[in-house]
Amino acid sequence: MLNELALNPQNVLLITDANVDIEVMKDAVVKSKINCGEINTLFFGPASKEDFPELQLKIETGHPEDVEIPEEAYELIKDTDVLMVHFCPVPAKLIEKAEHLKLIMTNRGGVEHIDVEAATSRNIPVVNCIRNADSVGEFLIGLMIDLTRDITLSNNLLQAGKWKREYYNSSIQKTLGNSKVGLIGMGNIGCVVAKKLLALGVHTMVYDEFVTYESLVKKGLGDLEYTTDLDYLLGTADIVSLHLRYVPATEKWFKLEHFQKMRKDAYFINSARGGILDYDALVKALDMGLIKGAALDVFDKEPLGEDYPLLHRENVLLTSHLAGTTLDSIALSPYILARDIDEIIEKGVTDRIVNFKKITIE
């Protein structure tokens, strides 16, 4: 079925947003192995990146049917063979109107915006793009060092004219190499973070109920400490970092009971999804002294209001959902996706086909 994409002209529908230039998307698909026929383009969402976070959060924590998409898409999809989107939802009612659709592609790793079940019922492959694992991995390690060594905190005080050398955590400061880092969730980003930490000589602990140690060994991660005991990881690690996907089963998954099992001198980090953390529980944990500090790049509400309860705390490091926003991870992500599509067409590589095990590919 997918070989046909290269053999015969395919009508392509590209739906972009403020984060990815439509010309980049078009150039990527034209240069791919897909034999492009007619190419139609649509724009989804607000025109400015600054106005996008609220919509993004709604998409990432909701269902594809929750957000309106361009009305023209319902007409154009009828004659579309290949659909490429970034954040634009692909609801079941859009898929139902597709008479010739052979492939759905998204320029991001998460597929919360696509009704994968509806695509699967039509035997349509859904292909995602692991575009920002390195970006997030580097950023996360930066958060670990910044939070534990007070880099931003010291800078802010100096900028305000205050010279200070003793901080809330000065008595427990140590190098990352002498710390134990616990990662919860070993998907693409979790594995990248683990690989970078191991390269730095950091004792890395991991927990993921759906991943085996043997599978991690095959990825070159045999030197980490694998555990099936979450309580053990929480009670041992100096830094606990979340790397779970947001699905209904993981909504507000990390709760007060988890913070209660952490060490009082430990730090907590979430740069995955805002929806997987109970933020009220985090506020309580900090107020009760259950943990030493926290760093967050994702939130339950974006952008933050002036009265957000985690603002203005010296032991909390906040960034505005920046971890994956390097040039090569978002703006140029269509080229990464196109490369993955070429691997599928030429070599039959199926790693990026989200629903591969549930469909039949001829």
**What 3 state SS string does the chain have?**
CCCHHHHCCEEEEEEEECCECHHHHHHHHHHCCCCEEEEEEEECCCCCHHHCHHHHHHHHCCCHHHCCCCCHHHHHHHHCCEEEECCCCECHHHHHHCCCCCEEEECCCCCCCECHHHHHHCCCCEECCCCCHHHHHHHHHHHHHHHHHCHHHHHHHHHCCCCCCCCCCHHHCCCHHHCEEEEECCCHHHHHHHHHHHHCCCEEEEECCCCCHHHHHHCCCCCCEECCCHHHHHHHCCEEEECCCCCHHHCCCECHHHHHHCCCCCEEEECCCHHHECHHHHHHHHHCCCCCEEEECCCCCCCCCCCCCCCCCCCEEECCCCCCCCCCCCCCHHHHHHHHHHHHHHHCCCCCECCHHHCCCC
Q: Which two tokens stand for residue 55?
A: 């919509």
Nearest to 86 by CA among 16, 21, 23: 16
pLDDT at position 327, please?
77
pLDDT of residue 322: 93
> Average pLDDT, stretch 12-32?
97
Contacts of 297 (CB under 8 A, 6+ apart): 139, 143, 270, 271, 318, 319, 320, 321, 322, 323
Instruction: Measure the CA–CA gap between 109 and 127, rounded to whole angstroms.
Output: 9
C-beta separation of 113 from 59 below 8 A? yes
Average per-residue pLDDT for the chain: 95
The CATH number assigned to the domain with range 133-318 reads 3.40.50.720
pLDDT digits (tens, 9 = 90+) for 293-317: 999 999 998 899 999 999 999 999 9
Distance CA 202, CA 198 (A): 5
Where exactly does CATH 3.40.50.720 map onto the chain? 4-131+326-358, 133-318
CA distances from 108 to 87, 172, 303, 335, 362 (A): 8, 39, 21, 12, 25
Q: Any idea which residues carry the catalytic annotation?
A: 273, 302, 321
Which tens digit of pLDDT belongs to each residue from 75-97? Answer: 999 999 999 999 999 999 999 99
Residue 347 confidence (pLDDT): 87
| pLDDT score recorded for residue 329 | 81
**Residue percentage of the chain with pLDDT more than 90:** 87
pLDDT for res 28: 97
Question: What mean pLDDT is predicted for residues 249-259?
Answer: 97
pLDDT digits (tens, 9 = 90+) for 146-163: 999 999 999 999 999 999
pLDDT at 350: 87
Is pLDDT above 90 for 240? yes
Residue 99 confidence (pLDDT): 97
Mean pLDDT of 8-12: 97
Q: How many CA atoms lie within 13 Å of 66's alpha carbon, on the beta-carbon side?
A: 14
Give the pLDDT of residue 243.
Answer: 97
227: left (phi over 0), alpha (psi -120 to 50) or beta: beta
Q: Check whether 132 has a pLDDT greater than 80.
A: yes
Q: Which range (28-32, 251-255, 320-324) has the least confidence? A: 320-324
Q: What is the pLDDT of residues 341-355, one digit of tens each?
A: 999 999 888 888 999
What architecture (CATH level 2) is domain 4-131+326-358?
A: 3-Layer(aba) Sandwich (3.40)
Q: Report residue 198 as tokens.
A: 């191991």
Contact 309, 283 (CB under 8 A): yes
Report pLDDT for 165: 95
pLDDT of residue 1: 59
Is the pLDDT score of 269 beyond 90?
yes
Is 178's pLDDT higher than 70? yes
